[in-house]
Amino acid sequence: MTERVVLAYSGGLDTSVCVGWIAEATGAEVIAVAVDVGQGGESLDVIRKRALACGAVEAEVVDARDEFAEGYCLPAIRANALYMDRYPLVSALSRPLIVKHLAAAARAHGADTVAHGCTGKGNDQVRFEAGIAALAPDLTCIAPVRDYAMTRDRAIAFAEDKGLPIATTKKSPYSIDANLFGRAVETGFLEDIWNAPVEDVYEYTRNPAAPREPDEVVITFEAGAPVAVDGRPVTPLQAVTELNERAGAQGVGRIDMVEDRLVGIKSREVYEAPGAIALITAHQELENVTVERELARYKRQVEQRWAELVYDGMWFSPLKRALDGFVTEASRHVSGDIRMTLHGGRAVVTGRRSAQSLYDFSLATYDTGDSFDQSLSKGFIEIFGMSSRIASRRDLTQ
């Protein structure tokens, strides 16, 4: 029986060439799997036909936008997930979903190998292969670009020699990865970290310095999930999509950073994630109102570790699953409304309300009606500082 390889297929030059390249190098039949996570561009049907024209024996296309929003973006919002306190895990979130569909296709088609188009310098190779190892440890992974030194020049020559139905002459100056949650741009002149991004780098966001009227929005959450925008019920997909448009129009969500890659190098990355940044900002503020202090303090530690695990490709790891349980429990009372002003590249919270609020006006006010018993504070401070006082007495006598 002929061996089969399931290929993560995007429809671009590299993965299109991979179809024939894998067949020649291994003698295996190739099943192409394309997953729509909101990246835009060509239709799934066009991509499917191209995969078949390039030599795939079968091609599957999956509209996974709702699944991505609900199963991957929503947990990231609840976790306030920002790698290095800035990056909302745009690419990292989509990889485990793609891996899930690759593993399912391998089972359905009797394949024993999964292939992807990643290089040996990036994070995605780890995310794909660690994900496959967790979901289907019996499968083998190959990466033609990395394993067979498939340079762009060689890929173009292969495509032209085989007459593959793909454009081989146009080359963007950037490497771009996009999905529902945002857009990542790297390489080209951006590799010089002194160079400022130019406006043509961006697609999801408008210039934040351009004059325009502010946009006020009210986002409603239930148990940490966005369920309405300006009073209109929304699904997670609709929430991210609408905030992408509205926050993006105000220039919200541009990120320019030098990032610590998993493989040990630092890389310059430019991101735009307007919906993600607006939703996480709103969610963080609602947590400030509804989550008890010690739980909130500990959750901030969990959030950092959660983001690192997802960035590092450990979506399916036991620790990530355990932290998911913590985040779900911590989100139980995160319900209410957040009002924000979107303007000048910023999402600024201007109002909060919640039936689950822990904010007590009578305790917080300094005006008439104050119910806080200030006479208790002196004794509280005495006891709170006692251990430090005792240690200081000892230290000062030595």
Q: Which of 4, 65, 95, 127 is an active site residue?
A: 95
How far apart CA 363 and CA 18 sit, in angstroms, is: 65
**94 is an active site residue:** no
How far apart CA 385 and CA 57 sit, in angstroms, is: 72
Q: Which of 175, 371, 377, 392 is an active site residue?
A: 175
Q: Which of 4, 10, 14, 183 is an active site residue?
A: 14
Strands of the 29-36 sheet, one edge to the other: 58-63, 29-36, 4-8, 113-115, 140-142
**14 is an active site residue:** yes
**138 is an active site residue:** no
Size of the chain in residues: 398
- Strand 113-115 versus strand 4-8 pairing type: parallel
267 C-beta neighbours (distance < 10 Å), count: 18
How far apart CA 231 and CA 286 sit, in angstroms, is: 17
DSSP β-bridge partners for residue 213: none
How far apart CA 313 and CA 83 sit, in angstroms, is: 13
Q: Considering Cα of 51, then 55, then 60, then 66, what sign does the dihedral take?
A: negative
Q: Which of 124, 177, 312, 346 is an active site residue?
A: 124
**387 is an active site residue:** no
Q: Are 131 and 96 in contact (CB under 8 A)?
A: yes
Residues marked as catalytic: 14, 95, 124, 175
